Copies of this chain bind each other. A is one copy, B any other.
């Protein structure tokens, strides 16, 4: 995120969020302490807490409660990743070994549960009933989204509506929770709370589309995981949906999604989707979400924070990792 100069505004706050996350009471369970350190050090962009911090800074510098909220949001995200990686048998994340790559399934499940518990405790530190409610509801949306994906219909029956619902559950719901909750904590007026929630929501949709696009166009080195990994898991994302609209009878994709494809065939399918322009169409969709995110901010004061949030939205569709 260092490519967005304006985001330096929240760098100091983000350091406080890191400290807050590390307050997790591991109670001298040595392997847990080590795992927490590894998980928190491998970092990630910390975009979700940055959103909460920015939404708060529209009104005032974030106090302890906003720091706790930002930490809660990132911790909830982290907890879901720990379980997701185990379920997907993913061995790398951000180029580092996942917890399930080095630990037993049992230890990984319980560490994920511990992180959920810590996230709930951080949310409770806001001492705000509405925020705790938003938090619990978002956790529910995320979990049912994952279950829906697990029990999804066949790849041929997937629709754009399915996709939109999935990326809302997976990503946009937590982005929206971050900005909405921060606005609630600083006692923003209700229309402003809704505007900030909408910004988070639209931005999250754009972010996830770009994530899905990068699975087609990123290099495996940059992404820290093999190209086409969604397809390898049988997951239909937006570029594939656009491609299938034009080429419903493609044999190569049928092989991939019916699990009969080896690596060269998967790479050929990725190349075919890229060459057909499906990635560009998906990026157009992402840009439309970015515009909606930016439009949501028009009712808010035109200050420096708003500019950073506008720039951040542009960055989301420009990023390469």
Oligomeric state, in number of copies? 2
Asked whether any CB of chain B lies closer than 8 Å to the CB of A199, the reply is no
Please state if A124 and B136 are interface contacts (CB–CB under 8 Å).
Answer: yes
In the bound assembly, the distance between CA atoms of A116 and B118 in angstroms comes to 13
Asked whether any CB of chain B lies closer than 8 Å to the CB of A133, the reply is yes
Contacts of A25 in B (CB 8 A): 140, 144
A106: which of B112, B120, B150 is its contact (CB, 8 Å)?
B150
Asked whether any CB of chain B lies closer than 8 Å to the CB of A110, the reply is yes
A129: which of B132, B135, B137, B143 is its contact (CB, 8 Å)?
B132
A146: which of B27, B110, B116, B123 is its contact (CB, 8 Å)?
B110
A132: which of B80, B114, B124, B137 is its contact (CB, 8 Å)?
B124
Question: Which of A28-36, A189-197, A235-243, A275-283 is near enough to bind chain B?
Answer: A28-36
Please state if B124 and A139 are interface contacts (CB–CB under 8 Å).
Answer: no
A window 171-210: CB within 8 A of B: none
Asked whether any CB of chain B lies closer than 8 Å to the CB of A38, the reply is no
User: Smallest Cβ distance from A120 to chain B, in angstroms?
Assistant: 4
Please state if A151 and B31 are interface contacts (CB–CB under 8 Å).
Answer: yes
User: Smallest Cβ distance from A78 to chain B, in angstroms?
Assistant: 14
Asked whether any CB of chain B lies closer than 8 Å to the CB of A107, the reply is yes
Please state if B151 and A30 are interface contacts (CB–CB under 8 Å).
Answer: yes
Asked whether any CB of chain B lies closer than 8 Å to the CB of A226, the reply is no
Asked whether any CB of chain B lies closer than 8 Å to the CB of A268, the reply is no
Q: Mark A90-120, 1 if CB is under 8 A from B, else 0.
A: 0000000000000001110111111011101
User: Smallest Cβ distance from A253 to chain B, in angstroms?
Assistant: 24
In the bound assembly, the distance between CA atoms of A110 and B109 in angstroms comes to 10
Which chain B residue lies CB-closest to A127?
Answer: B129
Please state if A148 and B27 are interface contacts (CB–CB under 8 Å).
Answer: yes
28 residue pairs A–B, Cβ–Cβ below 8 Å: A25-B144, A29-B147, A29-B148, A29-B151, A31-B147, A32-B151, A80-B113, A86-B109, A87-B110, A106-B150, A107-B150, A109-B109, A110-B143, A110-B150, A113-B116, A113-B146, A114-B144, A117-B136, A117-B139, A117-B142, A121-B137, A123-B136, A124-B132, A124-B133, A124-B137, A127-B133, A129-B132, A132-B132
6 more contacts with CB within 8 A, not counting A107-B147, A121-B140, A124-B135, are A29-B148, A86-B109, A109-B109, A117-B140, A121-B133, A127-B133
